């Protein structure tokens, strides 16, 4: 009896403690996100009351900017950090719920086109980034991590590849820092270029989903443009995320052969382990919505839940971006990443223009 | 005595983190969808 208590109690205590540790940070995400929503509403109301035409700046931008200001001025006390790190969790829950806004036919059509573009984008990005890394004299594993990060899905891909190719922690943090700082820059530049080029919602959404590496930033950049562009950006980015297992498996096999280390045993199990499960959740909800299981009001509620989840994500994007820390990272990986991002952005824009003709 | 207790404790800890973050996010989203479909959550405002 005594021994069973001794075994079970620490587990439940640690679970409870981990849960309690998350609360301050999650509350901060809610506060920052909701502040963004209040600012958007207040500006709109002020404009209407005073008959002024003010630019409609979405809550997305306010939430990110407030988060950035807090993180880079007063800083984030340790008590909030665990909860802020949950922003990825809310992002994935939000994407699954967003599946309710897509009919399976749309997913198949747009997702199919996205998948074709994703395959082209990944192949070209991997080749270009590998060449660029070599040209700048980066270590082969850092080059691999940067190539995987910029061709597929940012931080998640780098973490997955790091374990698979047994890369150093230092290389992984260089690659993550480069991808995050470039993601933060893309977040603001993509909408500006999109408006400048007068891109339609669908084209812009595809471009943001294909060109921006980290899922949170791609989602935010899409939502900053318009609601419809945000939906397409998430779908394109989800198609890109679905490829993570295949690319990481390829690199794992390559490095195992090169270094003579242990080969990947069960490839199907490896693929399943690396496959982002939220892609399946997204497809499942989309299938349920297509089968008209939900009423119109219920679909509105699901869409709103997805928005709330994204609200927390956008607050987290700002709060976890520490500009000083990013600046301290290596100069060369950043340059390689930046050059790569610009080239990939142009490349994906070309692909989108090509796809636009097919979609019309 | 300590030796007898430690292994199951490790096992239990492993069981706590059996599912990935992705999977928990899917569970949460599906659970909330179920509550909306069942009418437990009637309306989510924005």
Could you tell me if A69 lies within 8 Å of chain B, comparing CB atoms? Answer: no
The confidence band for A7, taking pLDDT boundaries of 50, 70 and 90, is very low
Give the model's pLDDT for residue A248: 80
Could you tell me if B31 lies within 8 Å of chain A, comparing CB atoms? Answer: no
Residues of chain A with pLDDT > 70, as a percent, come to 91
**Among the ranges given (A23-27, A117-121, A164-168), the one the predictor scored with the smallest mean pLDDT:** A164-168
Give the model's pLDDT for residue A204: 93
**Do residues A133 and A147 touch, judged by C-beta distance below 8 A?**
yes
Contact (CB<8Å) A92/B9:
no
Best interface-test mutation with B: which of A59, A287, A298, A306 has the largest number of B CBs within 10 A? Answer: A298
Best interface-test mutation with B: which of A93, A230, A310 has the largest number of B CBs within 10 A? Answer: A93
The confidence band for A13, taking pLDDT boundaries of 50, 70 and 90, is low
A352: left (phi over 0), alpha (psi -120 to 50) or beta: alpha
The confidence band for B5, taking pLDDT boundaries of 50, 70 and 90, is very low
The answer to whether the Cα torsion of A186, A191, A197, A202 is positive or negative is positive
Give the list of residues 6+ apart from residue A87 with CB closer than 8 angstroms, or none. Answer: A29, A216, A312, A313, A315, A316, A317, A319, A320
Best interface-test mutation with A: which of B1, B5, B8, B25 has the largest number of A CBs within 10 A? Answer: B25
Give the model's pLDDT for residue A261: 62
For residue A215, the tally of other CB atoms under 10 A from its CB is 27
The confidence band for B16, taking pLDDT boundaries of 50, 70 and 90, is low
Residue A152 or A1, more confident? A152
Contact (CB<8Å) B37/A277:
no
Please compute the mean of the pLDDT values over residues A25-45 and round it to a whole number.
92
Give the list of residues 6+ apart from residue A186 with CB closer than 8 angstroms, or none. Answer: A211, A212, A213, A217, A221, A341, A345
Give the list of residues 6+ apart from residue A360 with CB closer than 8 angstroms, or none. Answer: none
Residue A332 has pLDDT above 60, yes or no: yes
Which tokens sit at A335?
Answer: 């340059």
Residue A294 or A317, more confident? A294
**A208 vs A337: CA distance, rounded Å:** 17
Name which of A88, A281, A293 is nearest B37 (Cβ-Cβ): A293
**A229 vs A235: CA distance, rounded Å:** 10
Name which of B12, B23, B41 is nearest A277 (Cβ-Cβ): B23
Residue A5 has pLDDT above 50, yes or no: no
Q: Of how many residues is chain A composed?
A: 360
Could you tell me if B30 lies within 8 Å of chain A, comparing CB atoms? Answer: yes
Give the model's pLDDT for residue A35: 95
Name which of B26, B37, B43 is nearest A281 (Cβ-Cβ): B26
Give the model's pLDDT for residue B17: 62
Contact (CB<8Å) B21/A281:
no
From residue A321, give the alpha-carbon distance in Å to each of A42, A156, A180, B12, B45: 26, 16, 8, 35, 29
What are the chain A neighbours of B28 within 8 Å (beta carbons)?
89, 93
* Reported ipTM: 0.73
Give the list of residues 6+ apart from residue A247 with CB closer than 8 angstroms, or none. Answer: A122, A126, A148, A151, A152, A157, A161
Please compute the mean of the pLDDT values over residues A203-229 and round it to a whole number.
89
Residue A21 has pLDDT above 80, yes or no: yes
Give the model's pLDDT for residue B26: 93
pLDDT tens figures, A262-281: 666 777 777 777 778 888 88
Give the model's pLDDT for residue A357: 73
Closest Cα of chain B to A3: distance in Å?
7
H-assigned helices in chain A: 2-49, 59-72, 78-84, 87-98, 104-135, 140-151, 154-165, 169-196, 201-211, 215-225, 227-241, 244-259, 267-274, 277-290, 296-319, 323-328, 331-359
**A33 vs A87: CA distance, rounded Å:** 11
Give the model's pLDDT for residue A2: 37
What are the chain B neighbours of A301 within 8 Å (beta carbons)?
36, 41-44
Q: Rounded to the nearest 10 degrees, how much is the dihedral formed by the CA atoms of A217, A182, A171, A134?
A: 130
**A122 vs A147: CA distance, rounded Å:** 9
Could you tell me if B17 lies within 8 Å of chain A, comparing CB atoms? Answer: no
Given the structure tokens 């499960």, which residue do they identify? A277
Contact (CB<8Å) A280/B41:
no
The reported pTM is 0.74
pLDDT tens figures, A85-108: 998 899 889 889 988 887 777 777
For residue A74, the tally of other CB atoms under 10 A from its CB is 8
Contact (CB<8Å) A294/B1:
no
Which of A83-97, A232-246, B6-20 reaches the highest mean pLDDT? A83-97
Q: Delimit the domains of chain B by residue range.
A: 19-46
Which tokens sit at A237?
Answer: 């980015």
Give the model's pLDDT for residue A30: 96
Mean residue pLDDT across chain B? 74
Best interface-test mutation with A: which of B7, B16, B21 has the largest number of A CBs within 10 A? Answer: B21
């Amino acid at each position: 009896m005594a021994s069973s208590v001794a075994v079970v109690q620490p587990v439940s205590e640690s679970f409870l403690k981990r849960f309690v540790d998350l609360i301050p940070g999650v509350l901060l995400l809610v506060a920052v996100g909701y502040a963004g929503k209040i600012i958007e509403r207040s500006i709109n109301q002020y404009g209407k009351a005073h008959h002024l035409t003010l630019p409609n700046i979405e809550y997305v931008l306010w939430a990110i900017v407030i988060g950035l200001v807090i993180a880079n001025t007063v800083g984030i006390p340790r008590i909030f950090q665990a909860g802020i790190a949950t922003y990825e969790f809310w992002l994935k829950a939000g994407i699954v719920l967003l599946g309710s806004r897509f009919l399976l036919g749309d997913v198949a059509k747009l997702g199919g086109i996205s998948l074709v573009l994703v395959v082209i984008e990944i192949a070209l990005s991997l080749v270009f980034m590998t060449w660029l890394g070599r040209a700048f004299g980066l270590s082969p594993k850092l080059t691999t991590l940067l190539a995987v990060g910029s061709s597929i899905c940012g931080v998640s891909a780098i973490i997955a590849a790091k374990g698979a190719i047994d890369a150093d922690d230092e290389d992984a943090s260089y690659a993550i820092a480069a991808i995050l700082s470039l993601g933060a820059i893309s977040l603001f530049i993509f909408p500006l270029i999109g408006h400048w080029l007068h891109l339609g919602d669908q084209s812009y959404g595809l471009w943001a989903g294909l060109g921006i590496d980290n899922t949170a930033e791609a989602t935010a950049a899409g939502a900053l443009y318009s609601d419809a562009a945000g939906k397409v950006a998430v779908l394109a980015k989800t198609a890109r995320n679905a490829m993570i297992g295949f690319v990481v498996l390829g690199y794992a096999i390559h490095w195992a052969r090169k270094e003579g280390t242990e080969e990947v045993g069960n490839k199907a199990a490896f693929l399943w382990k690396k496959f982002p499960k939220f892609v399946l959740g997204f497809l499942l909800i989309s299938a349920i919505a297509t089968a008209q299981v939900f009423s119109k009001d219920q679909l509105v509620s699901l869409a709103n839940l997805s928005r709330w989840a994204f609200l927390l994500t956008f607050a987290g994007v700002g709060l976890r971006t520490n500009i000083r820390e990013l600046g301290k990272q290596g100069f060369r990986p950043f340059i390689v990443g930046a050059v790569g991002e610009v080239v990939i952005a142009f490349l994906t824009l070309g692909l989108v223009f090509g796809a636009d003709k097919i979609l019309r | 005595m300590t030796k007898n207790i430690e292994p199951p404790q490790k096992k239990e800890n492993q069981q706590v983190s059996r599912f990935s973050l992705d999977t928990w996010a899917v569970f949460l989203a599906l659970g909330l969808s179920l509550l909306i479909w069942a009418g437990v959550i009637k309306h989510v405002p924005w």
